[in-house]
Amino acid sequence: MRIAVPAETSAHETRVAATPETVKKFIALGCQCVVQQGAGESADFADAAYVEAGATLAASFAEVCLDADLLLKVSPLSRDELGSVASGTVVASLFAPYSNPLLASYAEAGLTCFCLEMIPRISRAQNMDVLSSQANIAGYKSVLLALEHYKSFMPMLMTAAGTVQPAKVLVMGAGVAGLQAIATARRLGALVEAFDVRAAAKEQVHSLGAKFVEVPVDADGEDAGGYAKEMSDAYKQKQAELIAKHATAADIVITTALIPGRPAPVLITEETVSKMKAGSVIVDMAAEAGGNCPLTEKDAVWIKDGVTLVGISNIAALMATDASQLFARNVLNFISPMLSAEQDGLSINMDDEVIAASLICRAGEFLKPQLLGNRE
Ligand code: NAD
C-alpha cells in the first residue's frame, strides 16, 4: 500500500496531512510512504525528518502521485492536481462538500474519496474528527488574532498609574471553536459572555466561567445530529435585539456561528457595527461561509467606523505545526482500521457508519447526490 503525501498548493494552506510521526506509524503498519519535497516545510517538518521516519521523497506533485494507492491531503484537490491523480486512487482529504464545484469531477476521474468533514460526530470517531481538532485550534487563535488588533489589556490590572478595566469579550456560537475561544479569553482575564441557539451550550459556557446570554423563546436550536438548525423569525428578531445590546458593550466579538450546508447566519448587522465602540474588534470565524457580519471581507482585515473586522478564513492554518499534528493523527486514526495485514489496499466496509458517511465517491460512482443538489 503506497501512501502519497503532497505539498499543499492552495492559498493560505500551510498544513500537511501526514507528519513524520504518522508516517512512521503507517510504515509500521506495512505501508510505504512517499512525501513531496517541502510538504511539511511551512508546518516546520523537514524533509529529513520524513526520511528518518522511513519515507522516500518525490520532487513534484505528479511524482508523488505516481503509483499511489492512497493520497492524503488537507485542502480539496484542485483542477490542476486532479489531472495528475490516476483513476482508482483513494483520496482522504477535506473536500468542502457544501461549496466545492469540483465534487462531481472527482467521481468522473475514477477516484474513491473520503470526505473528512463528513465523519460522523459519534464517540468512536472522536479521534478522527478533523472538524473538532481544527476548530479547537482556530478558536484559540481567534482570541490571539483579536488581541493583535485590540489596543488595550485583556485582564484587569491594578497599576500605580491607575486601574485598567478587563476587556469584555462576546462569543457567538459556543461549539468547539467558540468554547475554546471562551476558555482562552477567560485564561487571559477577560469578562466573557456567549450566545448559542443550542440550549445544551449553556452549561458548557457556564463551566468555563462565562455568562450565557439567553434568548427568551421556547424552541431549542439543536437538530438530531447535534448541529444548529435554522431558527424562526421570532427567535431571530429577539436574538438580534439582544446581540445589538451586548455587542455594543463588548470590546472584542468573536463569531463562530455556522449551520452545516447553509450560509452563515447574520448575527452582527451593519447598524450594530456602527454603534460599537471605536477600537473594538470583530473576528468573524464564519468568513468562509459568508460571515456572521455582512461587513466581513474574507481573508482581509479592515476597519469600519473604528471597528476592526478580521475575516481570516483558514485560522487553523496560522498554527500550522499543531494543526498538522492533530489533523495527521485524525487521518491516521481514520485510515488505520481500514488497513489489513492480509490484503493490500484498504478494506472499505460500507456497514461501518463512519465509512458510509464519509465516502462521497467510490471508483467513479458519486455516492452522495444530495451534496450536488445543494449547489447554488
Ligand atoms: P458549528 O461549527 O457547526 O457551529 C458553531 C456553533 O454556532 C454551534 O455551537 C452552533 O450551535 C452555533 N450557532 C449556529 N447558528 C447560530 C445562531 N444563529 N446564533 C448563535 N449560535 C449559532 O458547530 P461545531 O463546533 O462543529 O459543533 C456542532 C455540534 O457538534 C455541537 O453540539 C458540538 O458539541 C457537537 N460535537 C460533537 C462531537 C462528538 O460527539 N464527537 C464532536 C464535536 C462537536
Compute, in degrees rounded to 10, the torsion defined by CA atoms 350, 31, 41, 76: -20
Mean pLDDT of the chain: 94
Mean pLDDT score, 305-333:
98
CA-proximal residue: ligand 1, atom 3 (nearest): 258
- Our answer to whether residue 207 is catalytic in this structure is no
Report residue 376's pLDDT band, with 50, 70 and 90 as the boundaries. very low
Q: Which amino acid is at 106?
A: Y
Longest alpha-carbon distance in the chain: 72
What is d(CA 260, CA 172) in angstroms, rounded to the nearest whole number?
16
> Does residue 222 have a pLDDT over 80?
no
Amino acid (one-letter) located at 364: G
Least confident among 77-81, 148-152, 312-316, 344-348: 344-348
CA distance 252 to 277: 10
Number of separate helices (H) and strands (E) present in the chain = 13, 17
Least confident of 28-37, 43-52, 70-79, 333-342: 333-342
Give the pLDDT band of residue 327 (cuts 50, 70, 90). very high
Which of 66-70, 144-148, 227-231 shows the lowest per-residue confidence on average (mean pLDDT)? 227-231
* Total residue length of the chain: 376
Instruction: List, for residues 224-233, the tens digit of each pLDDT value.
Output: 777 777 778 8
Q: Give the pLDDT confidence of 204-218 residue by residue, as tens digits.
A: 999 999 999 988 766
Read off the C-alpha cell for 212: 450565557
At residue 344 the predicted structure's pLDDT band, cuts being 50, 70 and 90, is confident
Residue 309: pLDDT above 90?
A: yes
Work out the average pLDDT over 229-255.
90
Ligand 1 pocket by Cβ (under 6 Å): 121, 126, 129, 131-132, 135, 172-178, 195-198, 201, 226-228, 231, 256-260, 265, 267
Q: What is the pLDDT of residue 343?
A: 72
DSSP secondary structure letter of residue 222: B
What is the predicted pLDDT for the residue at 374?
Answer: 52
To test the pocket of ligand 1, the residue of 117, 130, 198 to mutate (highest count of ligand atoms within 8 Å of its CB) is 198
d(Cα 78, Cα 56) in Å, to the nearest integer? 24
Mutate to test the pocket of ligand 1, among 123, 126, 179, 227 (most ligand atoms within 8 A of CB): 227
**Is the separation of the CB atoms in 304 and 295 below 8 Å?**
yes
Return the closest-CA partner of residue 111 out of 226, 228, 12, 4.
4
Active site residue 299: no
**HSE-CB of 295 using CA atoms within 13 angstroms:** 21
CB atoms within 10 A of CB 29: 15
Paired residues of 361 in beta bridges: 113, 366
Give the model's pLDDT for residue 375: 53
Average pLDDT for 265-277:
95
**pLDDT value at position 218?**
62
Q: Determine the Cα–Cα distance for residues 304 and 252; give it in Å rounded to an integer.
A: 14
> Shortest CA distance to 148 belongs to which of 281, 246, 239?
281
Tell me the whole-structure pTM to 2 decimals. Answer: 0.95
